[in-house]
Structure 1
């Protein structure tokens, strides 16, 4: 059998690993899922929907914003978040369609 030539695209794999590490938490995945259905949500709205503490949620939101997954917009006293990298929603779809045994 002949060996198949395969060239690893390190840059692509590193970007994928970076995104996976960034969203690899149930709360972060839930945020991505929510923002895939809504154009933007305030911190309070996300907090209410996910039933989590605002300080914990803010930590996740800031982390994902700093890593380029989310963007934020201040409107008065509220901060609204939206997806900057919309393609990250494909991860959710892939996971939902996966027939892995977990």
Structure 2
């Protein structure tokens, strides 16, 4: 819960949440996250095939999600496996897509 008596902390927390929502606010990113919730992990090729968008587009969105701290990426041989690392984001996405 926010402490509105601590204005600086409240501003900081709300700014962080706004950045999170900006990152999530794209149909391709929401689809990537929904797929990763269902599959638990995936590589860029599988995500690209599922979404039917160009691979560079998927890679750009994955990079944005990773830099925001939403996804983790782990190398496995020649491929990179992506997973959602933020459980709060998982819960939020499930609530959004299961409406």
Q: Fold-level match, TM-score > 0.5?
A: yes
Return the offset for 1:97.
5.6
Structure with the higher fraction of residues in helix conformation = 2
- For normalisation by structure 2, the TM-score amounts to 0.81
Could you tell which deviates more after superposition, 83-92 or 71-80? 83-92
Give the Cα–Cα distance (whole angstroms) in 2 for the partners of residues 96 and 55 of structure 1: 25
Contact 1:36–1:86 (CA under 8 A) maintained in structure 2: no
Aligned residue pairs: how many? 93
Gaps of 5+ in 2: none
Bigger radius of gyration: 1
TM-score by length of 1: 0.79
Per the alignment, residue 32 of structure 1 pairs with 33
Unaligned runs of 5+ in 1: 1-5
Instruction: Note the aligned Cα RMSD (angstroms).
Output: 1.9
